[in-house]
A = this chain, B = another copy of it.
Amino acid sequence: MKRNMIFLLLFFACIQVFSQIKTVQERLGYPKETKLLIIHGDDVGVAHSENEATFKAMQSGMVNSGSIMIPCPWLSEVADYCKKNPKTDLGLHLTLTSEWKFYKWGSVTEASKVPGLLNADGFLYSSVDSLVRSAKPSEAEEEMRNQVKRSLHFGIDPTHFDTHMGSAFASLEFLKAYIKIGKEFNVPVLLSRQLEAFTPFRFNLDSLITPSDVLVDKIITANPEDFKKGMPQYYRTVLKTLEPGLNCLLIHLAYDNDEMKAVTVDHPDWGSGWRQQDFNFFTSSECRELLKQNNIKLITWREIRDKLYRTGK
């Protein structure tokens, strides 16, 4: 009888513990079955074409979030937009690479302080592979921190951090630095358990974060195969099969115009045509309807930051 009582107590204790492990959607005040979605434009600031298309898609389309590349030449245009639209949801697309053929940028940190980040021409490396081979984690950390500081100098209050070309996911040390910078500035950083399977190194995400950190249940982004098969079809499937939880759809918005064709020359993947297709779909009435029909609730990083990171605790 006594033993049965102990089992019963243990049973109720377990129920108690499990019931406290809330889903992100519940922590944010939504029912467990809610399909939350961030429709997120990457690469803001890289070019005027990207800025114009992203801002248009945020204002008249379904895009509700984006992130800024601080080292890029069109930063001032983004800062002006943020000033005029202070509630916009823009974070930082922490940038350690400069991937295009003829249009380049360097670090925001002085070259002599981060020599490992820069190639022989003084630009950030084109590829993540070269970056990781050459850069010390401390250099990546310093550059990421300086990009945040520079955004603040420009009056930009970033709602979240993520990572251009996934460079922060390229080594365990880079990943640790990325998470550290998020903590320093008390903003959510894009993280998901998916990373445990996709990074080139083995790690346990729980060992790097605290239970209060927000994880995205699913990061969704088109790959070159999806582009070949047709982007509208890919995005339709994404929206129709979205599951409850916090989902983040990473897209790239720009016009297929002279500037963007030149920026992305010789690089059809993630090129200007791809970006125009993203713009077309996420400003279409079809997209709006699909979100409604599939009961998808849009959420911003700003809401996540302000509800779960900056509660005044």
Which A residues are within 8 Å of any B CB, using their own CB?
A: 48-49, 52, 73-77, 80, 101-105, 108, 110-112, 121-122, 150, 153-154, 255, 257-259, 262-263
Asked whether, in the complex, the Cβ of B48 is within 8 Å of the Cβ of A76, the reply is: no
Cα–Cα distance between A104 and B73 once the two chains are bound (Å): 6
Nearest Cβ on chain B to A267's Cβ, whole angstroms: 14
25 cross-chain CB contacts under 8 A:
A48-B102, A48-B103, A48-B259, A48-B263, A49-B258, A49-B259, A52-B258, A52-B262, A73-B73, A74-B102, A74-B103, A75-B104, A76-B101, A76-B103, A76-B121, A77-B102, A77-B262, A108-B122, A110-B110, A110-B111, A110-B112, A121-B153, A257-B258, A257-B259, A258-B259
Kindly report which residue of chain B lies nearest to residue A123, judged by CB atoms. Answer: B76
Cα–Cα distance between A57 and B52 once the two chains are bound (Å): 29
Known: A258-B258, A259-B258, A259-B259. Is A80-B102 also a contact (CB below 8 A)? yes
**What residues on B are CB-neighbors of A150 within 8 Å?**
122
Q: How many copies make up the complex?
A: 2
Cα–Cα distance between A44 and B133 once the two chains are bound (Å): 34
Kindly report which residue of chain B lies nearest to residue A154, judged by CB atoms. Answer: B121
Cα–Cα distance between A98 and B280 once the two chains are bound (Å): 34
**What residues on B are CB-neighbors of A154 within 8 Å?**
121
**What residues on B are CB-neighbors of A73 within 8 Å?**
73, 103-105
Asked whether, in the complex, the Cβ of A102 is within 8 Å of the Cβ of B121, the reply is: no
**What residues on B are CB-neighbors of A110 within 8 Å?**
110-112
Kindly report which residue of chain B lies nearest to residue A80, judged by CB atoms. Answer: B102
**What residues on B are CB-neighbors of A103 within 8 Å?**
48, 73-74, 76-77
Asked whether, in the complex, the Cβ of B48 is within 8 Å of the Cβ of A262, the reply is: yes
Nearest Cβ on chain B to A7's Cβ, whole angstroms: 66
Cα–Cα distance between A74 and B262 once the two chains are bound (Å): 10
Cα–Cα distance between A49 and B104 once the two chains are bound (Å): 16
Known: A110-B112, A112-B110, A154-B121. Is A258-B48 also a contact (CB below 8 A)? yes
**What residues on B are CB-neighbors of A111 within 8 Å?**
110
Nearest Cβ on chain B to A105's Cβ, whole angstroms: 7
**What residues on B are CB-neighbors of A49 within 8 Å?**
258-259
Cα–Cα distance between A74 and B100 once the two chains are bound (Å): 11
**What residues on B are CB-neighbors of A263 within 8 Å?**
48
Nearest Cβ on chain B to A206's Cβ, whole angstroms: 39
**What residues on B are CB-neighbors of A74 within 8 Å?**
102-103
**What residues on B are CB-neighbors of A121 within 8 Å?**
76, 153-154
Cα–Cα distance between A259 and B154 once the two chains are bound (Å): 23
